[in-house]
Amino acid sequence: MKWAIVRFPGSNCDEDARFALEKAGIRAEFVWHTAQDLRGFDGVFLPGGFSYGDYLRAGALAAKSPVMAEVRRFAQEGRYVIGVCNGFQVLTEAGLLPGALLANLNLHFTCKEVGVRVERTDLPFTRLYRQGQVLRLPIAHAEGRYYADPETLKRLEGEGQVVFRYAPLGEEAHYNPNGSLNDIAGIVNERGNVLGMMPHPERAVDPILGGEDGLPLFLGLVQEVAG
Amino acid sequence: METLAREIGIPQEEYRAILKRLGREPNRVELFLFKVMWSEHCAYKNSRPLLKELPKEGEAVLQGPGENAGVVRIGEGWAVAFKIESHNHPSAVEPFQGAATGVGGIIRDIMSMGARPIALLDSLRFGPPEDERSRYLLKGVVSGIAHYGNAIGVPTVGGDLYFHEGYRENPLVNAMCLGLLREEHLKRSRASLGRPIYYAGAKTGRDGIGGAAFASKELSEDKEEDRPAVQVGDPFLGKLLMEATLEAIQEDLVEGVQDMGAAGLTSSLSELAHKSGLGVELDLDRVPTRERGMGPIELLLSESQERMVLVPKEGKERELEEVFRKWGLDCVPVARTIPERVFRVLFRGEVVAEVPTEALAEAPTYVRLAQEDPEVKRLRETPIPPLAADPGETLLQLLASPNLASREAVFERYDHQVGTRTALVPGKGDAAVLWVKGTRLGIAAKVDQNPRYSRLHPRLGAMHALAEASRNVSVVGAKPLAYTDGLNLGSPETPEGYHELQETIAGLKEASEALGLPVVSGNVSLYNESGGRRIPPTAMVGVVGVLEIDKRAEMGFRRPGEVVLLLGEEEGELGASEVLYLLTGQEVGHPPRIDLERERDVQEAIRELIALGLTQTAHDLAEGGLLVALAEMTFPYGLGATVEVRKGGLAALFGEGASRILFTVPKERLAEATLRLETRGLPYRILGETGGKTLTVLTPEGVLEWEVRALLAAWQKPLREVLDG
């Protein structure tokens, strides 16, 4: 099994994504933002970072880069695409996922561990989690407030496209770190093959790094092919 | 020329030295070369004779001071490059860009050694948080660090932050960076003869020229009025430059690398040539520019950011250019090495400057008259006023005081995990711990300094800084290897200022020797004073150590029913303490003495206990004393403790001292742990047990008890209000 990790100029979680994929037993290769061929890959990972310096708007320029035309076709073929953090922003800017990621309500970059509840487990990304399980995952972003118009939001909820939601780890009242609507932390497209999420599962794949709640997400991808 | 020299601030005796070294009068361009290369910042004119005394050798040292950064071996062929650097003056003028470019600059220093930057630590000093300007500076600096560090993808994993009246007019912003490299990839600022020297990265503009404090009329080559004095950083360009440079090193395309930092092309090229025992011929017409009509002085002195100097290996020129083209960056030959040991500059086909590289590199040094400030002596000898306070209330107030309150509101704005190496995030341990993936090696780093101690006793303050940074590294389980020192002081031109510089370095020397820690890199920032008020002498010491990653200790109580022990003396001292300042507003008395032999033994002992798996929880007992340290240990996991102390006075509960560590041991291994301490002849005391939701302290005067939640709330609130307000 082989995944592509797209490197935009300014991507900075590319190595971390490779570390996580390889830990799950998946071969991972970097693909430059000018690449026009994704044949031979089983999935595409859009990593976090500040693609093109986040100039204009986070993810806006990357969404127009040559490789994204390929990623779009790849997704339309029903193959798997994951965008984390800046990768999620790129996916919404590219129109591969609905909604937008606005500035956090606290108006600054926030890096900390948050609770993330798994809302459905029938996807390869989540099949190894329990329904309703609350994961400990790190966030690190300044623009992560999920927003969509009421109609889109209703459709997302109705179709079960909300995969991850911020949730309390303990008894804390303020568990939503950025003001996302409906506490949304991650969504999939209708077909269920394109996942975007703000928390970083690739940063939580080893006890040395403070936790491994992110690892089952990557292990689930392996099972998809095996099964 | 002599008039011009005077106008741009070259002292008369230095102008005479220039005449002597050149054997003729310098021209305008040459005079400016001397001006920047002989500046205190580049030449260490006042500190060099003193810094010579510091120990620089050690088993682990691969590269000591003199290069872009120091490098130590950590095992299995891996090495760590690290250095601390100041960006005080720019940050005082424009805190956001000042701090951002400080971060960018230190990252380039680390890259220059062939290392991938993997962590940042920041040492910050501001005036009191009640002061509006100090708050503005703090917010700007934190935003600037976050802006650059987060985007370039180097995690900010630690640092320290103090508020003190002495920094009201002169805030300090020092950034430390660590980089990871394979020993065989170590690069230096070197070139062989006849090699082309490449300029890589951002184009050159007029920014930063004013940073060297020239009278604007001396830059009459351009007529633009609004030339920014502070450089502007672009982390996106910095990221591209970092990746391209590291790729070139990885692919073995370069023989030498040098950051283009302070004094721009002048400093980077003349130093490269000098260290290589060669000369250099620079053709300014080849320098990529982003503004029109730049003259030779502007081109030579510009401090535009995100620029590097690279010397390709023979036959690798095209490949080097190709790597930078891929990353969308300029990479062009602008100079070449020559046998005559001169810095020769061509502009429009003509030689506009030709100066011996040695003359530029070896500025005159000064040894000055030193005398202690009688006011400092008076304060130090002032008796401690009698203190009376309710310890219950005092603990809450101390936890909420500016220097002890939680730093969470600050470090939450920094990405402290990008790179997935961070094994101890801020707030979890006394030092940051980074994992060398693919191995069982960990790297620990901490920067420390206490302005109250240093102000009242510069020598002792410097000793404490090194001892505490080292202790914090030991307390997570790492063996300290070496340190970097960021010396920030007032003007050395007064006897009082020079005395403080002398004493600070003497203190570092004494502690270095006793603890067996060499210095491998550093920075000196002098003239941090205004209106005749010097900042407290501030030696920010960054210690780096190595550990087995699975044997690291955290600071928080994790398991109920473990025994809490104190290693070291039971009682602290009140001189220069936080509790004294809290209760009286005074900073007086003698700071705690330090027995360096004891310090070394205590650190060895805690490392041994951690390595044997006898403890996984250890915490340095520092400012605020015993109760503050205990409270801090309850915070990470919300687990309380019950302890008993034999004395209930404020000195016992809140007094400060060196060589003291709190740690926990599972009951069944207590005898084993205490035996180790007894064998070493170290004092220790069993204080109590972890558990519950309160911190309960039994004293001869009665029982003190706090809800952990209440302590936590008091501790978390103040800085969050300052930053978010």
Tens digits of per-residue pLDDT, B546-580?
A: 999 999 999 999 999 999 999 999 999 999 999 99
Give the C-alpha separation, A153 to A132, whole Å.
20
- Asked if residues A43 and A3 have their Cβ atoms less than 8 Å apart, the reply is yes
Predicted model pTM: 0.96
Backbone angles phi, psi at B493, to 5 degrees: -85, -5
Closest to A35 in 3D by CA, of A57, A5, A55, A59:
A5
- B653 backbone φψ class: left, alpha, beta (φ>0; ψ -120 to 50): alpha
Question: What mean pLDDT comes out for the span A171-194?
Answer: 96
Q: In the structure encoding, which two tokens stand for residue B27, read together?
A: 């021209």
The answer, yes or no, to whether residue B342 has pLDDT greater than 80, is yes
Number of A/B CB contacts below 8 angstroms equals 88
B546 CA to chain A: closest CA distance, Å?
Answer: 15
CA B516 to chain centre: 20
Could you give the C-alpha distances from B461 to B52, B369, B452, B495, B576, in angstroms and in order?
A: 20, 21, 8, 19, 11
Residues B419, A112: C-beta atoms closer than 8 Å: no
Q: Half-sphere exposure of B381 toward its Cβ, with a 13 Å CA cutoff?
A: 6
The residue type at B562: E
Say what the pLDDT of residue B302 is.
Answer: 92
Tens digits of per-residue pLDDT, B507-540?
A: 999 999 999 999 999 999 999 999 889 999 999 9
CATH fold of A2-226 reads: Rossmann fold (3.40.50)
Residues B239, A10: C-beta atoms closer than 8 Å: yes
Residues A49, B143: C-beta atoms closer than 8 Å: no
Question: What mean pLDDT comes out for the span A132-151?
Answer: 98
Q: Tally the residues of chain A.
A: 227
Average pLDDT across chain B, whole number: 94
Residues A203, B724: C-beta atoms closer than 8 Å: no
Say what the pLDDT of residue B213 is.
Answer: 42
Give the C-alpha separation, A88 to A139, whole Å.
13
Could you give the C-alpha distances from B166 to A132, B451, B540, B710, in angstroms and in order?
A: 53, 9, 15, 32
Say what the pLDDT of residue B228 is.
Answer: 57
Say what the pLDDT of residue B535 is.
Answer: 97
Residues of A with a catalytic annotation lie at: 85, 200, 202
Please, which pLDDT band fits residue A171 given cuts at 50, 70 and 90? confident
Least CA distance to A207: which residue of chain B?
B423
Give the C-alpha separation, B335 to B629, whole Å.
56
A92 CA to chain B: closest CA distance, Å?
Answer: 20
The answer, yes or no, to whether residue B220 has pLDDT greater than 50, is no
Residues A12, B151: C-beta atoms closer than 8 Å: yes
User: Which DSSP string do the residues of B605-640 spell out, in sequence order?
Assistant: HHHHHHHTTS-SEEEE--TTHHHHHHHHHHTTTT--
User: Which DSSP string do the residues of B400-438 spell out, in sequence order?
Assistant: TSTTTS--HHHHTTS---TTS-EEE-TTTSSSEEEE-TT
Residue of B504 and B215 predicted with greater confidence: B504
Closest to B260 in 3D by CA, of B72, B26, B540, B36:
B36
Give the C-alpha separation, B292 to B294, whole Å.
6
Residue of B214 and B192 predicted with greater confidence: B192
Q: Is A144 near chain B, with CB under 8 Å?
A: no
Interface test with A, best of B120, B154, B415, B551 (most A CBs within 10 A): B415
Residues B418, A53: C-beta atoms closer than 8 Å: no
A113 CA to chain B: closest CA distance, Å?
Answer: 10
- Asked if residues B608 and B376 have their Cβ atoms less than 8 Å apart, the reply is no
Question: What mean pLDDT comes out for the span B401-419?
Answer: 97
Please, which pLDDT band fits residue B219 given cuts at 50, 70 and 90? very low
Question: What mean pLDDT comes out for the span B178-185?
Answer: 96
Q: In the structure encoding, which two tokens stand for residue A38, read together?
A: 């994704």
Could you give the C-alpha distances from B104 to A206, B189, B201, B269, B289, in angstroms and in order?
A: 30, 19, 13, 20, 20
Give the C-alpha separation, B547 to B436, whole Å.
10
Determine what percent of chain B is predicted with pLDDT higher than 90: 92
The residues, ordered by sequence, that sit 6+ positions from B398 with a Cβ below 8 Å of its Cβ are B404, B578, B579, B582, B624, B627, B628, B654
The residue type at B433: V
Question: What mean pLDDT comes out for the span B170-177?
Answer: 98
Tens digits of per-residue pLDDT, B154-171?
A: 999 999 999 999 999 999
Determine what percent of chain B is predicted with pLDDT higher than 70: 97
Tens digits of per-residue pLDDT, B450-477?
A: 999 999 999 999 999 999 999 999 999 9
Backbone angles phi, psi at B485, to 5 degrees: -125, 130
The answer, yes or no, to whether residue A224 has pLDDT greater than 70, is no
Angle between helices B596-611 and B458-475 in degrees, nearest 10: 10
Say what the pLDDT of residue A227 is.
Answer: 47
Residue B65 pairs in a beta bridge with B67
Average pLDDT across chain A, whole number: 96
Question: What mean pLDDT comes out for the span A46-70?
Answer: 94
The answer, yes or no, to whether residue B633 has pLDDT greater than 70, is yes
H or E element in which residue A32 lies: strand A27-32
Residues B413, A48: C-beta atoms closer than 8 Å: no
| Active-site annotation holds for B619 | no
- Asked if residues B276 and B269 have their Cβ atoms less than 8 Å apart, the reply is no
Residues B417, A10: C-beta atoms closer than 8 Å: no
Q: Is A213 near chain B, with CB under 8 Å?
A: no
Please, which pLDDT band fits residue B206 given cuts at 50, 70 and 90? confident
Say what the pLDDT of residue A56 is.
Answer: 87
Least CA distance to B549: which residue of chain A?
A208
* Lowest mean pLDDT across A97-106, B254-263, B327-336: B254-263
Say what the pLDDT of residue B224 is.
Answer: 43
Of B41, B89, B457, B619, catalytic: B41
Determine what percent of chain A is predicted with pLDDT higher than 90: 94
Least CA distance to A105: which residue of chain B?
B724
Q: Half-sphere exposure of B404 toward its Cβ, with a 13 Å CA cutoff?
A: 30
Q: Tally the residues of chain B.
A: 725
Burial class (CB in 10 A: 0-12, 13-18, 19+), A191: exposed
Residues B423, A210: C-beta atoms closer than 8 Å: yes
Chain B neighbors of A19, CB-CB under 8 A: 420, 437
The residues, ordered by sequence, that sit 6+ positions from B112 with a Cβ below 8 Å of its Cβ are B67, B68, B69, B187, B189, B257, B258, B259, B308
Interface test with B, best of A30, A104, A208 (most B CBs within 10 A): A208
Q: Is A179 near chain B, with CB under 8 Å?
A: no
Tens digits of per-residue pLDDT, A9-27?
A: 999 999 999 999 999 999 9
Say what the pLDDT of residue B215 is.
Answer: 30
Residue of B673 and A227 predicted with greater confidence: B673
The residue type at B111: M
Centre a 10 Å sphere on the Cβ of residue A219 and count the other Cβ atoms it contains: 18
Give the C-alpha separation, A177 to B569, whole Å.
43
Say what the pLDDT of residue B229 is.
Answer: 61
* Lowest mean pLDDT across A124-128, A165-169, B58-62, B531-535: B531-535
Residue A187 pairs in a beta bridge with A162, A196
Residues B150, A106: C-beta atoms closer than 8 Å: no
Please, which pLDDT band fits residue B207 given cuts at 50, 70 and 90? confident
Q: Is B153 near chain A, with CB under 8 Å?
A: yes
Q: Is B600 near chain A, with CB under 8 Å?
A: no
Say what the pLDDT of residue B459 is.
Answer: 98
Tens digits of per-residue pLDDT, B303-332?
A: 999 999 999 999 999 999 999 999 999 999
Report the residue from B235, B237, B413 with minimal CB separation from A109. B413
Question: What mean pLDDT comes out for the span B333-361?
Answer: 96
Could you give the C-alpha distances from B243 to A11, A16, B155, B177, B187, in angstroms and in order?
A: 11, 15, 16, 16, 16
- A171 backbone φψ class: left, alpha, beta (φ>0; ψ -120 to 50): alpha
Torsion of CA B374, B378, B379, B382, to 10 degrees: 170
Give the C-alpha separation, B684 to B700, whole Å.
19
User: Taking a contact as any Cβ pair under 8 Å apart, which residues of chain B between 398 and 417 contact chain A?
Assistant: 411-417
Give the C-alpha separation, B124 to B138, whole Å.
8
| Active-site annotation holds for B87 | yes
Chain B neighbors of A50, CB-CB under 8 A: 150-151, 153, 235-236, 239
ipTM of the complex: 0.96
CA B723 to chain centre: 22
- Asked if residues B279 and B343 have their Cβ atoms less than 8 Å apart, the reply is yes
Give the C-alpha separation, A186 to A204, whole Å.
16
Backbone angles phi, psi at A70, to 5 degrees: -65, -45
